[in-house]
Amino acid sequence: MSKLRDMSAKRKKAHSKMLALDSKVYKAFLDMESAAFSDGALSKMHKELIAIGISVVIDCESCMQWHIEQAAKSGADQRQVLEAIEVGIEMGGGPATAHARFALDVMADVFPAT
């Protein structure tokens, strides 16, 4: 999907720009992100699944894309990602159900039909 490719390209470009500008706040955010998503009492995969549900509730398309991709890279399967989306739907009600449509598009990209 071109929208997903465009979002990834924009995210990578912005990331590079922030690093090139030597943004101390951005670097601190990256450190916090690394700490938050590292394995601990919860695995990185489980933390990514939590982030998917939150992303659906807050309707952050870039977040949904990133965390679905990261969950899959961390070992989550399609069913686990779907259940994380479903938790977001339950927590966010009708609006989150509409937001979840985008998450389903990302799932189709990350988990192509076999």
Q: DSSP class of residue 22?
A: T
E runs forming strands in the chain: none
Q: In angstroms, rounded to a whole number, what is the distance separating the alpha carbons of residues 77 and 52?
A: 13
**One digit per residue, pLDDT tens: the chain, 114 residues?**
699 999 999 999 999 999 999 999 999 999 999 999 999 999 999 999 999 999 999 999 999 999 999 999 999 999 999 999 999 999 999 999 999 999 999 999 999 985
Sign of CA dihedral 49, 52, 54, 57: negative
Tell which residue, 52, 54, 60, has the closest CA to residue 110: 52
Q: In angstroms, rounded to a whole number, what is the distance separating the alpha carbons of residues 74 and 77?
A: 9
Domains and CATH numbers, the chain: 2-110 (1.20.1290.10)
